[in-house]
Homo-oligomer: A and B are copies of this chain.
Amino acid sequence: MERKVATERQEAFPITYGVLGLLAFWGPLSGYDLKRLFDHVLAPMWSAAHSQIYNELRRMQTLGWVTMERHEQESRPDRKVYQLTQAGQEALAAWQEQPPGVLQLRDELLLKVLFGSFASPDALVKNLQAGITEHEERLLHYRQQLQHLPVRGMQHQPSGRPNPYATEDTEEDAYFSLIGRFAIEFERMYLKWLRETLEYVEQNARS
């Protein structure tokens, strides 16, 4: 009879840990910095609007996972610089013990190809060509990024206790290389498929 109600609100999501991880790795950062890092470093697996990042930072502050320090500036809004706390570091470590959520791919181009029988060959070809251009640019971007791996700034150590799992700086950066390789392999695979599909569609249009 009774209705279950008010399931406790979850306090953190992948995007939260994205911010947390960036703060742990690159030390104190502003929302603006984080947005740029998100676009560059997390691009292969998660995206976020800047408004969402500012939101998360506020939420994380109330959770006690970060602290904020206001840096005054002339002729520009103050920089609010956020810094990981001990509790934040612990949350990050605890998250790593949990099984990850399922992968999600959302791709309207694939949807259009799937229902390609309802498109004019012209439209399909145009969309496939645009896709090729876009993914070529992505591939280039990721290749350049792998060669110029972002150098680690001062790492924040809230308690003076070092990250217990990290042995060397080079080892930590290796995870970024692994992700970079994933992104490159993904784009290569996607491009190959796009080119084969385009060839098929063009052949089909000519007949």
Contact = CB atoms under 8 A, between A and B. Distances in A.
Contact of A107 (B104, B178, B189): B104
A123 interface: yes
Interface in A103-118: 103-118
Interface residues of A, number: 67
B123 A96 contact: yes
A17 interface: yes
A103 B104 CA distance: 11
Query: How many monomers of this chain does the complex have?
Result: 2
B25 A115 contact: yes
Interface of A: 14, 17-18, 21, 24-25, 41-42, 44-47, 89, 92-93, 95-97, 99-121, 123-124, 127, 130-131, 134, 163, 165-166, 171-172, 174-176, 178-179, 181-182, 185-186, 189, 192-193, 197, 200, 204
